[in-house]
Amino acid sequence: MSDDVQHQPAAPADNEGAPSRPSGGSVVGKKNRKPLLIGLAVAVVVIAAAVLLYDIFIGSRSVSTDNAYVGGESAEVTPLTAGQVVEVLVTDTQPVRRGQILFRLDDKDQRISLAQAQAQVEYATRRYGQSLANNNALGAAADASAAQISSAQAKQASAQATLERAQEDYRRRAALAEGGAVSGEELTSARQALASARAAAQEAAAAVVQARANTNSARRQEEAAVALTRGTSNQTAPEILLAKAQLANAKLAMERTVVRAPIDGVIARRSIQVGQKVEAGTVAMMIVPVGQLYVDANFKEDQLGKVRSGQTAIVTSDFYGDDVKYHGRVVGFSGGTGAAFSLIPAQNATGNWIKVVQRLPVRIELDPRELKQHPLRIGLSMEAEIDLTSKD
C-alpha cells in the first residue's frame, strides 16, 4: 500500500504549463505610444505651418464673405395725374421694356380740357389779329384828327378876316356918324356885325384847340394799343404763347393717362386693379432692373484695410451654385455700418460694454452680360471674394 502511494506521480502545480509573461510590460507600452505623440505633434506643426503659409501667400491676397445680398435701384411707377384705372396690361413677374404701356387711366376730363385749350389758342390768335386791326383804325383816326386841325385853322383864319373887316367897317361908320353922314341904325348894325365876327373868331380859335386836343388823344390811344403788339407776331404774342402753354399742359395731362415703363426690368408689387381710383403720386407698381443689379457685401471691419474702389471681385450665388461665377468690381463703400443706420443704434457708453466686430457694406458692380445669361433677383444671398492684388 505504501509502495503504490510512493510511486504515484505528483499533481502538477497551478501555474505549470501556462505561458510565461515577459517582465517589464509597462515600459514596452510607453515606448509604443511615444512615436504616436511625436507624429501627432508633427502633424499639428505641419497643419499650422500650412495655414500660416496659406494666409501669407494666398489668404492675404483676397478677402471674402458670405454675408452678401443682391440689390438694385428699383423704379416706382406712379401716375402723374389722378383718374380711374380702365386697363392694366402687366402683372407681377412680367418682364417689360422701357416705354412699354403698363396701364391706362380714364381720359374723359383730359379730353375736355384739351378741346378747351385748343379753342383758347384759336381765340387768342383771332384777338391778336383784331388788335392789329384796331391799331390801324386808331392810326387812321389820329390822322383824321390831324386833318381836322387844318380845317379848324382855316376856319379860324376866315373868322379872323371877317372880324378885321367888321372892325374896319365899324370904325369907318363911327367916324361918319359924328358928321351925321351915317344914321344911328347903320352904326348899330355895324356894331352888331363886329360883335358877331368877334364871337365867330373866338369860336374858330376854340375849335382849333379842340382839334389839337382830339388829335393828341387819338395819338395816345394809338400808342397804347401799338405798345401791346409792338415787336410781336402771331407766333410770339404773349396771349398766344399763354394759350399755347395751356394747350401743351392739356396735351401733357392727356399723355399722362397712359403710364409707361420708365426702365427695363421685371414688374413687382403691382397694387392697382381695373376700376380703382388712383391719385397722382400713388405707387402703382415697381420695376426691378434685373439687368443692372449689384451686390452689397458686408465685410468685417478688420477685412477692409486693403480694399479699394476698382478692385475686381468674384461673386457666386446660392441660386446657381459655385458653377456660375460673376465677375464684378468694387465701386464704393457705405457711409456707415449697418448698426449705425439701424432703427435703434447700439449705445456703447455703458459699463457692461462688449466689443462687437462691425460690418461695412461694400458695393460690387456686376457685369450686365453675365446678368443677362444668368439673371438674379433682389435679395438673393451671395458670396463675394475681392482680389486685393488687382489694381485700383
pLDDT digits (tens, 9 = 90+) for 293-338: 999 999 998 888 889 999 999 999 989 998 999 999 999 998 888 7
pTM of the model: 0.62
Share of the chain above pLDDT 70, in %: 84
CB 31 within 8 A of CB 337: no
In CATH terms, are 64-73+288-341+356-387 and 75-106+255-287 the same topology?
A: no
State which amino acid sits at residue 124.
A
- Which segments within 173-274 are labelled E, that is strand? 258-260, 265-268
Please tell me the distance from the alpha carbon of residue 333 to that of residue 40, in angstroms, as a whole number. 45
Query: With 70 as the cut, is the pLDDT of residue 164 above it?
Result: yes
Could you tell me the pLDDT band of residue 155, with boundaries at 50, 70 and 90? confident
- Classify 64-73+288-341+356-387 by CATH class: mainly beta
Check residues 351 and 260 and name the one with the higher pLDDT: 260
Which stretch of 25-29, 62-66, 239-243 has the lowest confidence by average pLDDT? 25-29
Query: With 60 as the cut, is the pLDDT of residue 12 above it?
Result: no
- In this prediction, residue 60 carries a pLDDT of 65
- Classify 75-106+255-287 by CATH class: mainly beta
CB atoms within 10 A of CB 194: 20
Please tell me whether residue 64 adopts helix, strand or coil conformation: strand
Query: With 60 as the cut, is the pLDDT of residue 14 above it?
Result: no
CATH 1.10.8 is held by the domain 110-252: no
- Give the start-to-end residue ranges of the domains of the chain: 64-73+288-341+356-387, 75-106+255-287, 110-252
- In this prediction, residue 193 carries a pLDDT of 83
The average pLDDT across 358-371 equals 92
Query: With 70 as the cut, is the pLDDT of residue 264 above it?
Result: yes
What confidence tens digit (pLDDT) does each residue in 143-152 have?
777 778 888 8
Check residues 23 and 91 and name the one with the higher pLDDT: 91
Could you tell me the pLDDT band of residue 28, with boundaries at 50, 70 and 90? low
Check residues 327 and 345 and name the one with the higher pLDDT: 327
Check residues 150 and 27 and name the one with the higher pLDDT: 150
Query: With 90 as the cut, is the pLDDT of residue 245 above it?
Result: yes
What confidence tens digit (pLDDT) does each residue in 32-45 have?
677 777 778 888 88
Strand partners of residue 300: 359
Query: With 80 as the cut, is the pLDDT of residue 183 above it?
Result: no
| N-to-C CA span, the chain | 116
Helices of type H across 20-107: 25-53
SS3 annotation, 91-140: CCCCEECCCCEEEEECCHHHHHHHHHHHHHHHHHHHHHHHHHHHHHHHHH
Query: With 70 as the cut, is the pLDDT of residue 59 above it?
Result: no
Which stretch of 98-107, 137-146, 293-302, 340-349 has the lowest confidence by average pLDDT? 340-349
State which amino acid sits at residue 261.
A
Query: With 90 as the cut, is the pLDDT of residue 29 above it?
Result: no
Which stretch of 14-18, 130-134, 282-286 has the lowest confidence by average pLDDT? 14-18
